[in-house]
Structure formats: C-alpha cells, structure tokens
A and B are shown apart, each in its own frame.
Chain A
Amino acid sequence: MTHNLSSPISEEAIRELKVGDQVLISGVVFTGRDAVHKYLHDGGELPDGVNLDGGILYHCGPVVLKDDNGEWKVTAAGPTTSIREEPYQGDIIKKFGVRGVIGKGGMGAKTLSACGENGSVYLHAIGGAAQVLAERITKVRNVYFLEEFGSPEAIWELEVDKFPAVVTMDSHGRSLHDEVAEASQAVLERNL
C-alpha cells in the first residue's frame, strides 16, 4: 500500500510502515552522504538551520546548477549507495532523531536496530532514476558546507513533492535486504 509522509514525522506514523510499503514523501528533506556522516560521527555540529528531528536524511549527491536568476536548480538527484554510512547511521538516527533515511541498496544490522529503537525507517529510492526523482524536488531552500565538502557532499535543504520510495527496512526489525540475500543464497547453493 502507499502512504504519504511529510516531515516532521511522528513515531506513530513510522510504526505503521511495513517492509514493502510504498511511500510518497512531501515537505523538507536534507541531503547528507559520506563527508557529512563522517563529520557528524567525529563530533561535528549540525549547522544552524539544519534540524533533523522528526526529519528525513537523503543519501544523495545531486547535480545542482544556478539558473539565470541565480537560483539553485536540481537537475539530477537519485540516491547514492547507503551501506557506506553503516558505521555512523545508527548513532546519527538516535542522536538527531532522524525518522527516515532515503538511500539505495539497504543498510546493516546497526541501522536496523536503531530504526527499531528510535522509530525510524529506511526508504529505498530507485537508484539511477535521477530525472524522475529530480522532478519531485520543487525547491532548493538552502545549502550548507558547500565550500568545505564540495557540491555532491554538501547538505542541500530541499523541498519535495510526492517523492517515491519503498520501505525496505522497518521499525519492527524486518529488512527486505536480509531476506532477499538469504533466499538468493539458498538458490545459489543449489546451483553450484
């Protein structure tokens, strides 16, 4: 089934979500990937204006251009591989109260456990679908750490409208990634 989500998201709304549910996300999301995760893990503070409490963190390094009026415009914005943030994600979810992490490829046991504890979900967007997803980004509200981390690694504050994703790790301990890995391993063994 399809759920509509918009930040700030309550714990109750998250607990309703199950693996396999499709969601449409509206409102504000913040991008953050490798450099941001390492920075926060090393004790770095979120800049003023970035509030992840009840919010959504998007593993994404978009292509962003300035248009003729000097406004930022996102021209390509699919998810990046999330597993690289596995060492940091669980702590960041709990410390900052993140309710949803959008990415691709799924994450591991530490993140799954943090999703259960905090009431959070992992939302899988379609990797490579940079144009379909960029169309759902209606506005760039702000950018942080652009100089320090470079454009793909900066924190972009984006407004989105009906951004599609699938719940692949829920707050009840289920991970579609673990299930598919296990089932495919059994088939593989029969075929060797």
Chain B
Amino acid sequence: MSRLRESLIELIRRTSAEIPDDVQTAILRGLEQEKEGTIAKSAMEIIERNIGLAKSKSQPICQDTGSILFYVDCPVGLNQVEFEREAREAVKEATRLGYLRQNSVDSITGKNDGTNLGPGAPNLHFHQHETDDIAVRLILKGGGCENVGAQFSLPNTKLEANRDLDGCRKVILEAVHQAQGRGCGPGVLGVCIGGDRASGYEFSKREFLRDLDDRNPDPKLDELEQDILKTSNELGIGPMGFGGKTTLLGVKIGAANRVPASYFVSVSYMCWAFRRHGATLASDGEISGWLY
C-alpha cells in the first residue's frame, strides 16, 4: 500500500473542493426554478459561482470541512491498522495544505491542536468482502447541517405520529420544518427508519453514499422519498431559508430492523455543499477509478 497515503490526500482534496456531478446537477435545477430578482435566486447564483471557484482554486467549497467520515470496502486480510495509520497521516497533511480546516477540538479542554486528529477523528468504517477490490468513500459533513439532524421515538403524541410510514412522514417533515435554512439549504435528507439510537444515525448517514438521482428499490420507501421531496419543496422555506421553491435537493431513506420496544426515525441533513467522493484502489493503494 505504498501509494495509499497520497491517494487519500487526493481523495480529501477532491472531496473538499469539488462538488460531485449528481449534486451539481440538482443545484443547477434549483437555480433555474427560483424566480428572477428574488434573494433566493441570488443565493443560488452565489452557490453556483462558489462551486466553480472552489474547483478552479482547489480550495474548500465550505470553510467548515466537517467531520471526516471514511467508508472502506476491503478484501478479507487487508491490514486495517496500516490503513487507519495512513488515513490519519493523510488527514494531517491535507490539513497542512489547507484542504481541511483545523477542525478538531478536544471536548474537555477545548484545545484545538490543529492536526484534525484525536479520539473519533477521523472516523473510519471498514466493511470486508470476499472479492479483491478496495473502495474508499469519504464524506465531509459540516457542523451546521449536523446540528439540525433529529431523532424521533415513535409514537410521538404531539405530532400525532404513529408507528407506521405515515408517522415516519410526519416526523421527517417536522425535521425539515425545524431545520428551516439553518442547515445551509437546499439540503439532502438521509433517513433511517428503525435501528437503535446509534445505528439509526449511522445508517441515516450511509444514505448519503447513494447517487442523488437513484431510486429506492423498495417501492414503499421510494414513494415516501418522492413524497417528502415534493412536500418539502412546497413549504416555501427555500435556499438559506430565504423563502423560495428549492428547500431540498433529495431525500434518501433506508430501514434497519428494530427491537419491538423501539421505533426510531433518525434524520441526518446534508447541506448543499454536499461533499462526498469515492475511489477504487489498486493493491498498492493507487487510485484506479472514481466512484462519483
């Protein structure tokens, strides 16, 4: 894996500076539908200009380069200890180069040592499979959108949300309304129905690895995704919460089994600066292809 560190630095650079094509397409669609002369339109124009500038300057799309989440699919036998060591070095170097902000704070002392390394930072998820290919995906998730995530335990009396898909719909729309523009909309929802409090949020974030324009293979979840997207865009919250037609760019919903006593709906919000890329790697760690 002699090339691994260099590849991961490039993955971080690309993720921080270049919006994936699927997200850019959705943003351009949003820009077109906002009305001329409104502050919503002007917000979308600045967003579009920012995407181009970040790419051409190879600098962060957003200064909050966020939580660093690696998802690694690897063959049985890959040395995960070595992989993690290289990933940490790559993060340190990418921070020095300005692809990442000095963004990791000791929660007890309040100190920021400027390396982006510490307990839980960066965050790596390994998944083994029985083929030889290696794929590494990266999400950089900013704090503003992370803070508007929400987890609901059903039934919810106040929202009259029961333990069924209609109850899920009610709480997800409540999360959209609560977020208003604070998560840097127009955003994307990743939702997990079920799981426990930890796995629910964890699975909700994995939904961001899906292509924005794919369709859910489960017809019931597909219907719910389309419904939430359409209804949210009728709320008039708009870009940045300025009012307007584009409140969400996409909705992705998955499900995990639950124990009979629990029924959680976990909603993660991703800002328009949707930073996610991925690459396949050769056995020496060299990038052999891009995934988005």
Contacts and interface: CB of A to CB of B under 8 A. Distances in A.
Interface of A: 20, 22, 35, 60-63, 65, 75-78, 80-81, 83, 104-106, 124, 126-132, 134-135, 149-153, 164, 166, 168, 176-177, 179-181, 183-185, 187-188, 191-192
B184 A127 contact: yes
Overall SS of chain B's interface: loop
Contacts, number: 160
B144 A104 contact: yes
Interface in B44-97: 46-47, 49-50, 53-54, 57, 59-65
Interface in B115-150: 142-144, 147
A187 B236 contact: yes
A83 B42 CA distance: 23
Contacts of B60: 63, 75-76, 130-131
B112 A151 contact: yes
A2 to B, nearest CB: 10
A78 B62 contact: yes
Contact of B243 (A62, A126, A176): A176
B181 interface: yes
Nearest to A84: B147
Given A131-B57, A164-B46, A184 B236 contact: yes
A149 B102 CA distance: 12
Task: Determine the interface band of chain B, counting residues with CB < 8 A from chain A.
Answer: 35 or more
Given A126-B240, A152-B103, A180-B236, A132 B53 contact: yes
15 contacts: A63-B60, A63-B63, A63-B65, A63-B98, A105-B181, A106-B182, A126-B50, A128-B61, A131-B53, A149-B112, A150-B105, A180-B180, A184-B180, A187-B236, A188-B174
B182 A81 contact: yes
B227 to A, nearest CB: 10
A131 B59 contact: yes
Contacts of B170: 192
A60 B62 CA distance: 11
B234 A62 contact: no
Contacts of A106: 180-182, 241
A81 B271 CA distance: 12
B242 interface: yes
Residue of B63, B147, B184 with highest tally of chain A CB at under 10 A: B63
A179 B242 CA distance: 10
B35 interface: no
B50 A77 contact: no
Given A105-B144, A124-B240, 15 more contacts: A61-B64, A61-B101, A76-B62, A76-B63, A76-B101, A106-B180, A126-B43, A126-B240, A129-B50, A131-B50, A151-B112, A177-B181, A181-B177, A184-B180, A187-B235
Contacts of A177: 180-181, 241
A166 to B, nearest CB: 5
A153 B103 CA distance: 10
Contacts of B184: 104, 127-128
Given A76-B63, A78-B63, A129-B50, A105 B43 contact: no
Given A126-B46, A127-B271, A192 B173 contact: yes
